[in-house]
């Protein structure tokens, strides 16, 4: 049986400028159980790490948080320095900034540093991992690297690879509505119908804990469920041909709504439950 993580994941749909910064980061702080938590910011996904560092430090200062350490390096062998390991050891919240998910997974995958983050996330109730854009996409064990938007439902247009394996029951895609990535996530779920696909709009986040997804921020999240797929010709067609799929289920959740991962359904309020029973 797979171990259930005790910590909290907060993937954010991307674009720091559009974030409901205070609400989302204050929620991360609340989940840490600290009033002035130690934050470890990973900027290595970005091509402009100093810019990203300054943006995040300014945002955190607005909510009176100045206990921030920064991790940035340029090669895989630099990851496991004593300094980096200590920063993660002492952190209450780890934040993966935006940039390239492939760069992030290439630099962090298979390192003791990433193993330490994962161990803390799985074993510590108050440990929080936040990811923005690429930093959110990389959280799952399999991640989308690229997908042609116009030809997203053509076989072979989707490129996936291993992520950082913090969660193995979902795919996460970001900038969802803004970049028209519906077909990308549907194709990903068609490849593996057992996995739930989560599409996060910019400025929107999911709080994932205790096998529940709670929506925060100011947009929607889209959940793609492939467990009811009745038919697809994915294995029958050649590369470059359009994919047919029947039975994909879609859910749309706004702020405050919750989705139960094992049951693959929206959590009903008492009022909604009674109306459903009467119908």
- Amino acid 90: pLDDT: 97
- Amino acid 168: pLDDT: 86
| Sequence-separated contacts (24+) of 157-163 with Cβ below 8 Å | 157/187, 158/184, 158/187, 158/188, 158/191, 160/188, 160/191, 161/102, 161/105, 162/105, 162/109, 163/101, 163/105, 163/137, 163/138, 163/139
Torsion of CA 248, 98, 254, 264, to 10 degrees: 40
- What's the CATH number where 19 sits? 3.40.50.880
Mean pLDDT calculated for residue range 212-240: 92
Asked whether the beta carbons of 221 and 200 are under 8 A apart, the reply is yes
Is residue 177 domain-resident?
Answer: yes
Asked whether the beta carbons of 8 and 207 are under 8 A apart, the reply is yes
| pLDDT at 34 > cutoff 90 | yes
Mean pLDDT calculated for residue range 187-215: 92
List the one residue out of 18, 3, 29, 183 whose CA is nearest residue 91.
Answer: 29
Q: Is 158 in a helix, a strand, or coil? A: strand
| pLDDT at 277 > cutoff 60 | no
Report the chain's mean pLDDT, rounded to a whole number: 89
Q: What is the pLDDT of residues 114-123, one digit of tens each?
A: 999 999 999 9
Q: What is the pLDDT of residues 45-89, one digit of tens each?
A: 999 999 999 988 998 998 899 899 999 999 999 999 999 999 999
Is residue 118 domain-resident?
Answer: yes
Lowest mean pLDDT across 19-28, 107-116, 129-138, 245-254 = 19-28
- Amino acid 183: pLDDT: 83
Higher pLDDT, 168 or 1: 168
Question: With bands split at pLDDT 50, 70 and 90, how would you rate the model's confidence at 222?
Answer: very high
What are 149's two structure tokens? 């938007």
Sign of the alpha-carbon dihedral angle for 144, 107, 27, 63? negative
List the one residue out of 42, 14, 6, 12 whose CA is nearest residue 25.
Answer: 12
- Amino acid 176: pLDDT: 75
Where is 122: in which H helix or E strand? helix 112-123
Is residue 85 domain-resident?
Answer: yes
CA-to-CA distance for 267 and 41, rounded, in angstroms? 33
Is residue 107 domain-resident?
Answer: yes
Q: How many domains does the chain have?
A: 1
| pLDDT at 134 > cutoff 80 | yes
- Amino acid 219: pLDDT: 80
Q: What is the DSSP string of 8-49?
A: EEEEE-S-GGGS-HHHHHHHHHHHHT-SS--EEEE-TT-S-H
Q: What is the pLDDT of residues 44-53, one digit of tens each?
A: 999 999 999 9
Mean pLDDT calculated for residue range 171-175: 88
CA-to-CA distance for 247 and 279, rounded, in angstroms? 24
Is residue 150 domain-resident?
Answer: yes
CA-to-CA distance for 48 and 103, rounded, in angstroms? 13
Is residue 163 domain-resident?
Answer: yes
Percentage, residues of the chain above pLDDT 90: 63
Is residue 3 domain-resident?
Answer: no
Is residue 88 domain-resident?
Answer: yes
Domain enclosing residue 198, as ranges = 8-278
Q: Is 58 in a helix, a strand, or coil? A: helix
Gyration radius from the chain CA atoms: 19
The pTM for the full model equals 0.91
Percentage, residues of the chain above pLDDT 70: 90
| pLDDT at 251 > cutoff 80 | yes
The β-bridge relationship of strands 128-132 and 196-200 is unpaired
- Amino acid 279: pLDDT: 45
């Amino acid at each position: 049986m797979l171990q259930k993580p005790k910590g909290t994941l907060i993937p954010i749909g991307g674009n720091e400028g559009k974030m409901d910064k205070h609400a989302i980061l204050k929620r991360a702080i609340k989940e840490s159980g600290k009033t002035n938590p130690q934050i470890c910011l990973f900027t290595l996904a970005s091509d402009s790490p100093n810019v990203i560092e300054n943006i995040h430090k300014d945002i955190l200062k607005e909510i009176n948080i100045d206990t921030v350490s920064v991790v940035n390096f340029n090669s895989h062998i630099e990851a496991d320095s004593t300094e980096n390991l200590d920063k993660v050891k002492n952190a209450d919240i780890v934040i993966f900034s935006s940039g390239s998910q492939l760069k992030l997974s290439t630099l962090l995958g298979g390192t003791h540093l990433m193993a330490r983050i994962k161990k803390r996330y799985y074993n510590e109730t108050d440990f929080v991992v936040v990811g923005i854009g690429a930093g959110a996409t990389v959280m799952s064990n399999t991640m989308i690297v690229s997908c042609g938007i116009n030809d997203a439902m053509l076989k072979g247009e989707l490129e996936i690879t291993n992520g950082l394996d913090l969660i193995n029951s979902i795919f996460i895609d970001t900038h969802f509505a803004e970049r028209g990535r519906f077909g990308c996530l549907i194709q990903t779920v068609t490849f593996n119908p057992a996995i739930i696909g989560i599409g996060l709009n910019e400025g929107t986040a999911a709080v994932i804990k205790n096998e529940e997804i709670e929506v925060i921020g100011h947009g929607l999240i889209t959940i793609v469920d492939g467990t009811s797929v009745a038919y697809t010709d994915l294995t029958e067609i050649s590369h470059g041909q359009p994919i047919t799929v029947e039975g994909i289920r879609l859910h749309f959740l706004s702020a405050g709504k919750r989705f139960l991962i094992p049951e693959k359904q929206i959590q009903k309020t008492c009022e909604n439950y009674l109306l459903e029973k009467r119908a």
